[in-house]
């Protein structure tokens, strides 16, 4: 909901320009570092070998493939077309159909050329933005800027490129200036605020916006200077890998480590998130329950100056790459690390921390309880299908969901909402385990390998942990494992699927292959890993979830309804197909299943809030196609006023509040009494649920799924309570 608020407050295309300035730039200026071309050649050779041998359906490495790599790679290097000139592109174009040959021959000519040219152009660009921001912008001049980078041509010469920088920076500064003016106008209405400080003049505000933009760009350029040639070669390698399909990618050693952490939900270290701030590394957040959090000495805002391992001499980390600082601070459980930090009050302190296993709580399942009409319902939110493959005794999504279901049963719930919105997937094993909680036994998903061999994954446990009413919530970002779960529940007719018109549409399985295993006695160091598509999965009814995803039983509009963002919108996505269905028996213990769906559809049809959401989604789609913005301040303000007036119509979407109160389970309430961070996180989650119209409808559906006998009993209980009171 917070994203919606920001989205509706101002035109998101303007934000995109600002984000481009602060993100695209810091992604693209590396620091030169010695690199071994032989290692790069080996990496290319391994990539081609592993993909051709292990991919589900490897594309032919030919001229068409080469053109795809060429396009994707240049777009990754310069997405806003603010570095390369048309003359550079003319020079690059002769290699457009040769990349396939370069892959086979392990030839780095194209990469070396583009890398060297990009470094040159980026170094030159520093003077462009400094020159553009040196003097006040003329906001009375009639100028426009088009933010459609995809169709935008490359600049013909340096002068044209400088002008592009100037216009883009002017738009960025103008949007900030207008916001600052609004704040000053609000201050004029407040006498107390005027007493504290005089309102700023236009000239002061204009100067502030330029200085702020300049400082931001300087910081970003300093930050991205940490990147090196290896980082850039990873971009090239990924442009090659991703042409086989969108989910095949190369993972450099640090990226592989992050992937493992995201899958397991835990790491070993001190339990702190770090961020770069100039030459310094700042503690941005302490992970609740981690060793740094338990020690109560390290705080958000502390600057790390030195790091020492146990009794060893401290190493100065000022100016060091963030990844390298992280490597020094992280380490095996039980080992000691000493951090020399500068506190926010300016004092210098040495803090000793014993590393431990840190669980990233946001990764894990959580549940809440809500009541309606005398019935008690449970909401289970699963952000990821996590598992730790190296430790069978560790937490995994399957075991944790089973625990939450049991806890909810103990609280006497009479229906469960399984929320996998925004869940991008994870472990197949955990999907089978979770789906198995809701059926007696039977197939959950079918898998087909490159050789054509079909495998069916079964739930073989006859026990049904939850046999009551069930609703599964999905959206456009529910992908992979989430779609398997929703598809299985839908095919068994075990529960009602509600949410977006369809889920993401990722029906493929990836395996992570360690590239080091193919090279014995390598002196090149860690070569990273390749995540490649090795299988496709199919519903038990035989249809693939690839491209089509899972279509909701009850489709509910949301702000993304008309925007392109699914697998079906990616040019090289694998196709949809179908195989024979598995042998399964439809769940027959939910008598009013079809009635509940019909009731919900009627509610949706007559729901004014849903109509407004759909209308807003169409408007956002229209706004997405508008790319030209006036740089004249009066015209810009007029445009923004029209947008704001339009936004007022949709304000009730943001302000919406349902009639339910969401509560934590008793065991968690005890934990929150001793953990203020956890309490704050749960309070925020419950607040977001109370503003969630989709959760509200899920609860209504659970109510409709109750048997008539239970409804009658509930009404009697309510009447008895009223009489007694």
Whether pLDDT at 561 is above 80: yes
Torsion (CA) 43, 48, 49, 55 in degrees, nearest 10: 130
Q: Which residues contact 499 (CB under 8 A, 6 or more apart)?
A: 421, 473, 474, 475, 478, 552, 555, 556, 694
Whether pLDDT at 249 is above 80: yes
pLDDT greater at residue 285 or residue 295: 295
- For the stretch 523-551, pLDDT in tens is 788 888 999 999 999 999 999 999 999 99
Kindly give the residue spans of alpha helices, DSSP state H, lying in 520-675.
593-606, 608-624, 633-649, 651-655, 666-674
Instruction: State the first-to-last Cα distance of the chain, in angstroms, to the nearest integer.
Output: 38
- Backbone phi, psi, residue 578, to 5°: -140, 145
Instruction: List the one residue out of 419, 613, 698, 683 whose CA is nearest residue 7.
Output: 613
**Catalytic position from the list 125, 368, 480, 600:** 480
CB 369 within 8 A of CB 378: yes
- For the stretch 190-248, pLDDT in tens is 766 566 677 788 999 999 999 988 887 776 676 667 778 888 999 999 999 999 999 99
**Catalytic position from the list 88, 302, 491, 558:** 491
Q: Which residues contact 722 (CB under 8 A, 6 or more apart)?
A: none
Q: Which residues contact 507 (CB under 8 A, 6 or more apart)?
A: 480, 483, 536, 537, 538, 544, 545, 546, 547, 567, 574, 576
Whether pLDDT at 452 is above 90: no
67 catalytic? Reply is: no
Is residue 175 helix, strand or coil? helix
Looking at 288-292, 348-352, 679-683, which range is the least confident one? 288-292
**Catalytic position from the list 506, 531, 536, 559:** 506
CB 560 within 8 A of CB 476: yes
What's the average model confidence in pLDDT over 648-659? 88
What band does 647 get if pLDDT is binned at 50, 70 and 90? confident
**Tokens representing residue 527 in the block:** 């070569």
72 catalytic? Reply is: no
480 catalytic? Reply is: yes
**Tokens representing residue 610 in the block:** 């849903």
User: What is the pLDDT, as a whole number, of residue 267?
Assistant: 65
**Tokens representing residue 183 in the block:** 């704040």
pLDDT greater at residue 594 or residue 24: 594
Interior angle at CA 457, CA 455 and CA 462, nearest 5: 145
3-state helix, strand, coil split of the chain in percent (to 5) is 45, 15, 35
Kindly give the residue spans of alpha helices, DSSP state H, lying in 607-632.
608-624
Q: What is the pTM of this model?
A: 0.80
């Amino acid at each position: 909901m917070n994203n919606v608020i920001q989205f509706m407050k101002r035109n998101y295309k303007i934000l995109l320009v600002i984000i481009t300035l602060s993100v695209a730039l810091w992604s693209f200026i590396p620091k030169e570092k010695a690199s071994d071309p032989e290692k790069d050649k080996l990496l290319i050779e391994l990539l081609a070998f592993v993909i051709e041998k292990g991919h589900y359906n490897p594309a032919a490495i030919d001229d068409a493939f080469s053109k795809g790599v060429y396009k994707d790679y240049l777009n990754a290097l310069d997405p806003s077309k603010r570095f390369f000139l048309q003359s550079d592109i003319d020079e690059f174009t002769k290699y457009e159909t040769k990349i396939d040959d370069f892959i086979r021959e392990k030839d780095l000519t194209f990469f070396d050329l583009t890398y060297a040219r990009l470094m040159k152009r980026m170094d030159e660009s520093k003077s462009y933005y400094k020159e553009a921001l040196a003097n006040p912008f003329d906001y009375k001049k009639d100028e426009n800027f088009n933010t459609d980078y995809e169709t935008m041509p490359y600049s013909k010469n340096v002068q044209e490129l400088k002008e592009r920088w100037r216009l883009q920076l002017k738009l960025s500064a103008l949007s900030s200036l207008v916001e600052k003016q609004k704040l000053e106008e609000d201050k004029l209405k407040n006498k107390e605020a005027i007493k504290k400080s005089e309102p700023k003049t236009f000239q002061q505000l204009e100067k502030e916006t330029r200085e702020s933009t300049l400082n931001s760009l300087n910081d970003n350029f300093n930050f991205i200077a940490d990147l090196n040639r290896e980082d850039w070669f990873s971009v090239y390698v990924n442009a090659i890998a991703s042409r086989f399909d969108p989910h095949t990618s190369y993972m450099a050693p640090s990226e592989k480590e992050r992937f493992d952490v995201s899958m397991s939900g835990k790491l070993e270290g001190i339990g702190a998130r770090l961020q770069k701030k100039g030459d310094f590394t700042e503690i941005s957040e302490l992970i609740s329950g981690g060793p740094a959090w338990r020690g109560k000495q390290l705080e958000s805002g502390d600057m790390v100056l030195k790091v020492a391992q146990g009794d060893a001499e401290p190493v100065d980390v000022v100016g060091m790459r963030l990844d390298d600082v992280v490597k020094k601070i992280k380490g095996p459980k039980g080992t000691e690390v000493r951090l020399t930090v500068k506190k926010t009050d300016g004092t210098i302190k040495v803090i000793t921390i014993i590393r431990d296993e840190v669980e990233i709580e946001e990764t894990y399942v959580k549940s809440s309880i809500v009541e309606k009409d005398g019935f008690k319902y449970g909401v289970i939110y699963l952000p990821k299908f996590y598992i730790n493959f190296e430790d069978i005794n560790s937490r995994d999504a399957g075991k944790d969901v089973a625990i939450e279901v049991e806890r909810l049963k103990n609280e006497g719930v009479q229906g469960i909402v399984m929320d996998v919105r925004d869940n991008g997937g994870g472990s197949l094993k955990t999907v089978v385990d979770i789906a198995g909680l809701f059926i007696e036994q039977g197939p959950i998903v079918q898998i087909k390998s490159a050789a054509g061999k079909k495998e069916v994954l079964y739930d073989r446990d006859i026990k049904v942990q939850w046999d009551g009413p069930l609703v599964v919530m999905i959206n456009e970002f529910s992908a992979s494992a989430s779609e398997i779960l929703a598809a299985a529940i839908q095919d068994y007719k075990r529960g009602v699927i509600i949410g977006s018109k369809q889920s993401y549409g990722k029906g493929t399985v990836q395996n992570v292959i360690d590239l080091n295993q193919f090279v014995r006695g390598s002196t090149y160091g860690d070569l990273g890993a390749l995540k490649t598509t090795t299988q496709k999965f199919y519903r038990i009814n035989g249809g693939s979830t690839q491209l089509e995803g899972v279509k909701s039983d009850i489709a509910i509009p949301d702000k993304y309804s008309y925007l392109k963002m699914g697998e079906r919108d990616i040019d090289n996505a694998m196709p949809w197909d179908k195989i024979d269905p598995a042998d399964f028996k439809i769940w027959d213990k939910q008598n009013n299943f079809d009635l509940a769906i019909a009731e919900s559809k009627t509610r949706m049809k007559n729901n004014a809030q849903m109509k407004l959401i759909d209308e807003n989604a169409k408007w956002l789609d229209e706004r997405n196609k508008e790319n030209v913005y006036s740089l004249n301040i009066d015209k810009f303000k007029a445009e923004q006023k029209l947008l704001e007036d339009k936004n007022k119509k949709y304000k009730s979407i943001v302000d919406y509040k349902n009639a339910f109160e969401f509560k934590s389970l008793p065991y968690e309430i005890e934990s929150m009494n001793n953990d203020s961070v956890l309490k704050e996180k749960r309070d925020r989650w419950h607040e977001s649920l109370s503003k969630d119209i989709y959760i509200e409808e899920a609860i209504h559906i659970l109510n409709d799924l109750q048997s008539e006998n239970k409804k009658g009993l509930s009404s009697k209980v309510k009447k008895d309570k009223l009489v007694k009171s």
